[in-house]
Structure 1
Amino acid sequence: MMRRVAITGLGLVSPYAPGEGLDDFFHRLCAGESAVRHLLTDDQPRPLNMPFVSCPDFDPDMALGKPLASMMDRFAQLGMAAAFSAWDDAGLSRQSGEENRDSWGCSWGTALGGTLAYEKGYRELWQKGRERLSPLAVVLGMNNAANAHISIQLGLGGVSMSHTVACASSAVAIGEAFRRVRSGEAQVMLTGGSDVPQAYGVARAWEALRVLAPGNAETSAQACRPFSSERRGLVLGEGGAALVLEEWEHAVARGARIYGEIAGYGTSCDHSHLVKPEAAGQVRALRAALADAGLTVADVDYVNAHGTATAEGDPVEIEALRQVFGTHAATLAVSASKSMHGHLLGAAGAIEAIVTVLALRQQIAPPTAHLDALDPACAGVEHLTQARARPLRAALSNSFAFGGSNAVLALRAAS
């Protein structure tokens, strides 16, 4: 029997401020407030100079306690803090002995894992001439560090999975968690993603692709412009976001607050190019998510787009939406919250799923910021340049990654 999957907890480490409430986070997005700032480092031989979204006030020792924080790279610290927040929000105990958690699990996404830990090791070896690294180097850097720590700290005895699917990592993690709960294999799943693309080598690698918006202290706040003819590239960011997914009847029985439900999940591969997206592949993922959720195109009122603000990606995504939604596309509300919180790579799908859940809960679709001049190639849908209150029954959250990997989550408002 297929089970309904409730969303009962949300947590994030947001670029706006540490520990803020979800309502405040969503209010800032609806107000079009950008968290993008100018990043200028003192690295040698050449400093990093780019727009970036960071969480500068996040203190892992305060959030997690120094002993636990010292066992983690920053990506895992952000993930653990977001996971704790979502768990508490769901009204679940951090003490694992209060119930049987053998069927409770974790499904986590990260594109980069502990690159800061590995880069620190390289610097110690090659710049400082050290002969040995910390014995924690491997466990700090491994990609499954976040989900391992989450499972250990919360006593989750079921599946513990780490997904690395580039920018679709946490969307895939959420989708796979959803499938586990829906099938009855898991009763509760903690899912989401975290990433920190601030390691010098990582940032330089992205710069070499020539897809990043240029650095400018005066214009960084408006640097990310999805779907705009004035776009100049994407903006990287760090962060963590988590959701608690729960079998609907279990959530109701314990009196949990239900934010909404995940109704469907679709994946596909373009199978054509490593970095150039293809509409046909995205169409397959969109249609698969709709079919999995039992939704028609007329049922969907909002799409949180992948919307990276690249000349290659934006028009292809809109073309895919036009193909799938047909005559309904013209009234389909679409926005890209990356314009404000940046591209969190492996955490992007999770923070955007949270944005979509909050849109359904509050019946307000957030805008795409800085969309002053629409690219004609992106026409054909209703681009929101301001937040708009409207009836929202169902929505999609798109994540389209390098490697041609596509993931779409279909969500419904709580009922």
Structure 2
Amino acid sequence: MTRDTEVLVTGVGLVTAAGPDTDSTWNAVREGRACARPDPELHGLPVTLSCRVADVDALRPRQPGASHLDPAARMGLAAVAQALDEAKLDPADWDPTRVAVVTGCSLGGMRAQEAAAARFRADGPTSVSPYFLTGYMPNMVCAAVSLHLGVTGPTLNVATACASGATALGTARDLLTTGQCDIAVVCGAEAPVSPLIATGFSQVRALSDRVSRPFDTARDGFVIAEGAGALVLERPAHAAARSAPRLARFIGYGASSDAHHLVAPHPEGRHAERALRAALAEAGLSPGDIGHVNAHGTSTPVGDAMEAAVLARVLPHRPPVTSAKGTLGHTLGAAGAIEAALTVLALRTDLVPPTAGLTVQDPALDIDAVAGSARSESSTAAVSNSFGFGGHNAVVVLARD
């Protein structure tokens, strides 16, 4: 017996280096405005650029223990609040046993970890805060959201590196379509901008200290970033019963693993291709039905080349391709959720945003990457790709309602 795999997106929320809300983030992405800035905390390192969220303390929710939350959890809660507001959902009115929370967070609270490590080295174990673990553990974004909302349905965090946000969406979709919940609050959140994490990515030559240039001939890595994206997903019958906003339909999901290398993608992208084809098949679409692609587009030489080759093979009609990482940097585990939310906005506004930093497209990449300014494009369906260290591939297909 087959099951209906379609669910509705009824709310989105964003917190990024471009601003603390959906409108400010969408405006920056639509305008192709890069948010990377020199970061004083990275001074003296090989890479000194980042995309930080301004005034994270202002995002602190008013609840017991909130002052001890890591910035990742604070950003996640702020994005979720926006998404619930747009979805016209009040936790006081729902059955908490029929709500799920699924988060994508790959690193956990790195600021909490580094602060605790510094205290331990300087003053010994008694100086470490008892709130260290609850700030650091990767599941604590999920725990903070579910506690804040009073959710008692399924709650879990997924960690598939830079694919985490997209994997969270696929996991939440499955909880909905198998009848385990009526509403799923999905959030990708990450606050990885720290000297240690920046150094780690620099050591594997993944970062740029100039600018993020997805698909450009001069691309040399991404800019590390923080942020959060939230989407509210609902079973169609539940959304209809309460006359919920219908922002988009989530109609297809595909996932695969490369089993190739700890940090490098498979050079031919065969398993990323398999994930894309699986998502299209589940959506019941042919390649020609895809109107645009929100690419993973990290601005690394190997990663962009792999993704472009996959898109050229699967989507030979060359739909417009964009990457938000030129504007927002790479938010790692949050990227898949942030970019899915941006894909929803692109579908609703008939616009494909430009890829900030893209000046001269690499002629070896056979794709139609949007550069300079946003392109008017009335798409009925779009793809959002996410690929992560360890060979994790996740593809989401969204359609306008």
TM-score, normalised relative to structure 2: 0.95
Q: Is the 8 A contact 1:113 1:195 kept in 2?
A: yes
Instruction: Say if 2:143 is the partner of 1:148.
Output: yes
1:312 paired residue number: 302
Deviations along 1:18-55, whole A, 9 cap, x unmatched?
A: 2x4x3443232111111111113377xx4575221001
Shift in Å, 1:152: 1.4
Shift in Å, 1:78: 1.1
Instruction: Look up the equivalent residue of 2:368 and give its one-letter code.
Output: E
Q: Is the 8 A contact 1:399 1:408 kept in 2?
A: yes
Distance in 2 separating the partners of 1:149 and 1:24: 25
Q: Is the 8 A contact 2:47 2:208 kept in 1?
A: no
Instruction: Say if 2:75 is the partner of 1:78.
Output: yes
Shift in Å, 1:130: 4.8
Instruction: Say if 2:17 is the partner of 1:15.
Output: yes
Instruction: Say if 2:288 is the partner of 1:298.
Output: yes
Equivalent of 2:213 in 222, 225, 230: 225
Deviations along 1:153-205, whole A, 9 cap, x unmatched?
A: 11212110100111001110011101211222221000021111122211111
Instruction: Look up the equivalent residue of 1:360 and give its one-letter code.
Output: L
Shift in Å, 1:63: 4.1
Q: Is the 8 A contact 1:94 1:153 kept in 2?
A: no
Distance in 2 separating the partners of 1:334 and 1:42: 32
SS at match of 1:70: helix
Equivalent of 1:193 in 188, 192, 198: 188
Q: Is the 8 A contact 1:40 1:47 kept in 2?
A: no
1:382 paired residue number: 368
Instruction: Look up the equivalent residue of 2:73 and give its one-letter code.
Output: A
In structure 2, the gaps of 5 or more residues are: none
Distance in 2 separating the partners of 1:162 and 1:42: 29
1:29 paired residue number: 29
Where do 1:301-340 residues align within 5 Å?
301-326=291-316, 328-329=317-318, 332-340=319-327
1:217 paired residue number: none
1:113 paired residue number: 108
Instruction: Say if 2:49 is the partner of 1:51.
Output: yes
Distance in 1 separating the partners of 2:297 and 2:382: 16
Distance in 2 separating the partners of 1:249 and 1:168: 29
1:341/1:289 CA distance change after superposition, 3 Å:
same
SS at match of 1:108: strand
SS at match of 2:39: strand
2:378 paired residue number: 391
Instruction: Look up the equivalent residue of 1:383 and give its one-letter code.
Output: A
Distance in 1 separating the partners of 2:179 and 2:103: 19
In structure 1, the gaps of 5 or more residues are: 215-219
SS at match of 2:293: strand
Where do 1:55-66 residues align within 5 Å?
55-60=53-58, 63-65=60-62
Shift in Å, 1:99: 3.0
Q: Is the 8 A contact 2:12 2:83 kept in 1?
A: yes
Distance in 2 separating the partners of 1:276 and 1:66: 42
Runs of 4+ in structure 1 over 3 Å off: 46-49, 128-132
Shift in Å, 1:315: 0.7
Distance in 2 separating the partners of 1:149 and 1:208: 32
Q: Is the 8 A contact 1:3 1:247 kept in 2?
A: no
Q: Is the 8 A contact 1:37 1:53 kept in 2?
A: yes
Equivalent of 1:101 in 88, 96, 100: 96
Q: Is the 8 A contact 1:3 1:248 kept in 2?
A: no
1:68/1:389 CA distance change after superposition, 3 Å:
farther
Q: Is the 8 A contact 2:47 2:202 kept in 1?
A: no
Q: Which moved more, 1:268-277 or 1:301-310?
A: 268-277
TM-score, normalised relative to structure 1: 0.91
Shift in Å, 1:287: 0.4
1:371 paired residue number: 358
1:169 paired residue number: 164
2:40 paired residue number: 40
Aligned residues: 396
Instruction: Look up the equivalent residue of 2:130 and give its one-letter code.
Output: P
2:329 paired residue number: 342
**CA RMSD between the two structures:** 1.7
SS at match of 1:237: coil
Distance in 2 separating the partners of 1:300 and 1:93: 34
1:240 paired residue number: 228
Instruction: Look up the equivalent residue of 1:17 and give its one-letter code.
Output: G
Deviations along 1:46-105, whole A, 9 cap, x unmatched?
A: 457522100123334x5412744223111111111111221122111132xx33221211
2:387 paired residue number: 400
Q: Is the 8 A contact 1:38 1:49 kept in 2?
A: no
Q: Is the 8 A contact 2:51 2:329 kept in 1?
A: yes
Distance in 2 separating the partners of 1:325 and 1:135: 52
Distance in 2 separating the partners of 1:181 and 1:240: 22
Distance in 1 separating the partners of 2:393 and 2:5: 24
Instruction: Look up the equivalent residue of 1:236 and give its one-letter code.
Output: I
